[in-house]
Amino acid sequence: MFSYLYLALSFIFSIWIMLDIGFYTKPYGIVLLFGWIALLYLICFVLHIVVFALFGLTINLKRLPANIDNIYRKIGFDTLKVFLDTLHIHVHVTGMELVPEGKFMLVSNHRSCFDPMVQLLLFKKQKLAFVSKQENMQIPFVGRYMAAIRVHFAEPGKYKRSVEKH
């Protein structure tokens, strides 16, 4: 949703700039129009990431939300969606009808660092929770969001005991 809003804003402001400057009469005007659209979209994307990072600073690691369905999860979903849309990453999934209703455990084998992000978006309705290695808590800004959406951080080699506790 945000990526379409950013694209619309970029298009409107680009047309306004082109009309104001008068480049629409030049033969290279269309190239400049697309250049302005791309530049303004990039600015919107960077501002979104900056807001994401600044909002992440409000996360109090001593008093984390009790529920995984919170404002940080919503902001994280929106940022992931903008990120994937901006990079034109399209995910095709088959077999979603086989996902059980209610609680279940999903064990995944990561092929890339994007897998957990895509899983969060795909299983948005199921309120998927994660177990992650302790080092991921140190990722700037992202580690704070992971803690806020109640990702359980476990020590390497002790994942099985961590899952059994929760």
pLDDT tens digits, one per residue of 2-19: 777 777 777 677 777 767
And the tokens for 16?
Answer: 């306004």
Cα–Cα distances in Å, from 27 out to 10, 22, 40, 80? 21, 12, 22, 38
- Averaged pLDDT, 105-120: 77
Residues 21-31, mean pLDDT to the nearest whole number:
72
pLDDT at residue 24, as a whole number: 63
**How high is the mean pLDDT of the chain?**
78
Compute the average pLDDT of residues 65-93: 81
Q: What is the pLDDT of residue 32?
A: 78
Please compute the mean of the pLDDT values over residues 122-133 and round it to a whole number: 78
pTM as predicted: 0.69
DSSP one-letter code for 100: P
